[in-house]
Structure 1
Amino acid sequence: MPDATPELPAVVLDAISPTETRLVLNRRGSTVWDVESRRGRYAVKIGWPIEAAPGWEAQPWTALAPAREGAILYRLNGDFVAYGEWDQGTWNIQPWREGPDLYRAWEPCRAEGSSLEPHRSVALGCVEALAELHAEGWVHGDVQPAHFIIGPERTHLIDLALARGGRVPEAYDFPFRGCLVHYEAPEISRSVLATGEAEPTPAADVYALGASLLISATGWRAVEYPDDAPRAEQRQAVAEHRFRGVDVRGELGGIVREMLRPAPEDRPTIYEVGKALS
């Protein structure tokens, strides 16, 4: 996509007839929009391929991610979802989810000198959202704080482009090559380092949720490595489970530590986590 101010493709404008649009996210390979229309409020995602650049490999999968997510959402729920192609990639339209994400919701807990403990109800809402996905036979593959939206009535788990569990149109599918390393389970990092790909699992999702709860409550990553370390070096630290030794304050600390166990078979299931928090 050109470096100029991004615009919604004509095919999306025709599909949704927006009355108001707001650019929410503009990053390499994708944009996310908050769109009002006569039919309601929607999140619109646009994707295009990332070209190779110094220090970056080409990433053609970013062009397919919106349509892949749209196909998964269509299978999972009855909310209005549309997806399709434009001249540089794919797009999807999905319901807008209002509320802070997990990291923002626990910001007061991270304030200097704060003695606030993270609310168990917020953690439980995240657990319930992930448990619902697992109950449908899917794993998320990209669990991170930004993907939990703490709504007024329930918590929503968003960004399902990397999810696995059911059939996805072949034209929009692509291999799983890991996610944001801060939240990768050790077995995922080891597989990506060894083969370039991995298979996301419920246990890896549990680890990622534990890492998400930890960083949201404390501001610290679960695994220690330099902020500017190359991606392979970060993954090696995760693979070796160089645990930082930071715990969540209060009653959540014990269960989060269990979720972050290095061996997947030693972690609780998402249902066991929910039972412990209930």
Structure 2
Amino acid sequence: MSSEGPYEPPEGALLLLNPGRKRLVLNRRGSTVWKVTTDLGPYAVKVGHPTRAHAWTALAPAREAAILRQLTHERIFSGEWEHGTWAAQPWRSGDSLYDRWASCRSGEAEPDLGEALSCALALSALHARGWAHGDVQPAHFLLGEPGGASLIDLALSSGGPVPCAYDFPYRGCLVHYEAPEISAGVLGSGTVTPAREADVYALGAALFISATGWRHVAYPDDASREEQRRAIVAGPHRPVRVPGPLGPLIRHMLSRSAADRPTGAEVCDRLGAVV
């Protein structure tokens, strides 16, 4: 078992990228992330390692790299190191959806429908390629760069081939954003398959918490993962009191039945009609 880090970019990454300055961005949940300068521009270097609770985090960087190579023509690098895998991808700048909507939670502003549309477009574009993200949450939408929101952290995505050496079962994501069918599947069998309908639910939950500061289902902050998932499956939803046309749309996205939810493209159409 490795320590909790942070870990420096491995030698293989340094040899390929020949980086200049580097800055530690994140160190948690089995991942150390650095922003580094390279001749190709700024890159995010993710260094994965196992944690006490999860071994899959060691494989996540290489799994994400394999997915990104199917979705982009950008130069993606990856490799193995002593405690797991590492990967490097072009850096995405911007504020997270949650940070961008801080003024909504304080009551100083209403949610920006254009920004909501930008997030929906990013997710819908991934769905149109046949993929489900599997880990939709406010922190994974970055707003600020020209061209709309960036959807990041695709390590749990499903929809195409992944090398067996770097693949691992999907055991859900951050429970605050799990759809009932995902939570029920994890409770029942331990593993499930990411789905586009669950992504739409998660986007609704992400928009709701970013606009209000509240999880869409109530449970104690110290509740176990199992308790959280039981609340997602059976607990009542908080009222969606989000002003304007976004409120009814979020309620529709949070439908308990996957078949009753709009598709990502339909979410874009509804938001596009009012922006």
Q: TM-score normalised to the size of structure 1? A: 0.94
Alignment partner of 1:68 is 2:63 = yes
Counterparts of 1:227-266 in structure 2, within 5 Å, are 227-266=221-260
1:208 aligns to 2:202 (yes or no) = yes
SS at match of 1:93: strand
Partner amino acid, structure 1, of 2:131: W
**Cα separation, 2, equivalents of 1:90 and 1:193:** 29
Aligned length: 270
CA positional deviation for 1:129: 0.2
> What does residue range 1-278 of structure 1 map to in structure 2 within 5 Å?
1-3=2-4, 5-51=6-52, 57=53, 59-111=54-106, 114-153=107-146, 154-278=148-272
State the alpha-carbon separation in 2 of the partners of residues 173 and 3 from structure 1. Answer: 22
Q: Give the fraction of aligned pairs with identical amino acids, expressed as a percent.
A: 56
CA contact (8 A) 2:6 2:27 kept: no
RMSD: 1.1
2-structure distance, mates of 1:180, 1:83:
25
Structure 1: where are the runs of 5+ without partners? 52-56
Q: Which amino acid aligns with 1:211?
A: A
Change (3 A) 1:4 1:95: closer
Question: What amino acid is the match of 1:235?
Answer: R
- Runs of 4+ aligned residues of structure 1 deviating over 4 Å after TM superposition are none
The 3-state SS of whatever aligns with 2:65 is helix
Tell me, in whole angstroms, the C-alpha distance in 2 between the residues paired with 1:178 and 1:109: 29
Distance 1:65 1:253, change over 3 A: same
* Aligned-partner Cα distance in 2 for 1:3–1:66: 16
Report the residue type matching 1:120 in the other structure.
L
> Helix, strand or coil: the match of 2:21?
strand
Aligned partners of 2:6 and 2:32 also within 8 Å: no
- Structure 1, 202-211 or 233-242: larger mean CA deviation: 233-242
C-alpha displacement of 1:159: 0.2
State the match for 1:54 in structure 2: none
* One-letter amino acid of the structure 2 residue matched with residue 243 of structure 1: H
Match of 1:90, SS state, is strand
- CA positional deviation for 1:199: 1.3
Alpha-carbon distance, 1:116 to partner: 1.4
**SS at the partner of 1:78?**
coil
> Could you say if the C-alpha distance between residues 109 and 88 of structure 1 is closer, same or farther in structure 2, counting changes exceeding 3 Å?
same
